[in-house]
Amino acid sequence: MLYIVPTPIGNLGDFTIRAVEVLKTVELVLAEDTRTTGKLFNHYDIKTSLKSFHLNNEHQVLEYFGGMLKAGKDLALVSDAGTPAISDPGFLLARYCREEGIEVTCLPGATAFVPALVVSGLPCDKFYFEGFLPPKKGKQTRIKALEAFPCTTIIYESPHRIVKCLTQLLEFFNPERKASLCRELSKLHEEVLHGTLQEIHDDLSKRQSIKGEIVLVIAGKES
């Protein structure tokens, strides 16, 4: 069986008892970055061996790890933070297992966009998860399409690109569109900004440095 195991997005206490038990009992854990996962393993005294499984090697190692699963080994997949395959490696392996008749189960656990959506104060009954926007080619086209969405939209962005991203959004979105930005979720310096896109842009533009992965939640376009 392949176990897909969410890991804490910041606070190491946000880890389930079942997740620890699974990671201690499987044959091998596939990790996006073995150094990052190693810190989590040290905290919970998990001794299971780690192997790399990330965006740059997942095509090459798919058959190898698939062979282990076919041979009856139980493996677990983790990413650096949150649920694998949500803007992280994991989709290819899960699809491979389904196609080959290998059982897959995903444990419930941490993911960044859910708490960001809930604390935003924006409608949660319907929402669209965009994840990371295209880095260059097609980005403006994508932003223009998102502007017309009637439901709440969720975007992931890195700290060093967030001001530029907000500037590009303001080229198409109404500056008064309501939004919420979460930074350093579940960590000591967690921050949530509420306001308009323009207000959030202006706030971050004044800062000399911005740290932590960011979740931007934007209200849908009113009809």
CA distance 136 to 79: 25
Instruction: Report the percent of the chain where pLDDT is more than 70.
Output: 100
Closest CA to 31 of 1, 73, 61, 70: 61
Q: Sorting pLDDT into bands at 50, 70 and 90, what band is 107?
A: very high
pLDDT in tens, 8-55: 999 999 999 999 999 999 999 999 999 999 999 999 999 999 999 998
pLDDT in tens, 148-187: 999 999 999 999 999 999 999 999 999 999 999 999 999 9
Domains in the chain: boundaries: 2-106, 113-218
CATH node for 113-218: 3.30.950.10
CA distance 74 to 147: 44
- Is 187:10 a contact under the CB 8 Å cutoff? yes
pTM for the predicted model, two decimal places: 0.91
Q: What DSSP letter does each residue of 104-143 carry, written as one string? A: EEE-----SHHHHHHHH-S--SSEEEEEEPPSSTTHHHHH
pLDDT at 33: 95
Q: Sorting pLDDT into bands at 50, 70 and 90, what band is 223?
A: confident
Residues for the chain: how many in total?
Answer: 223
Check for a shared fold between 2-106 and 113-218.
Answer: no
Q: What DSSP letter does each residue of 138-151 carry, written as one string? A: THHHHHHHHHT-SS
Superfamily holding 2-106:
Tetrapyrrole methylase, N-terminal domain (3.40.1010.10)
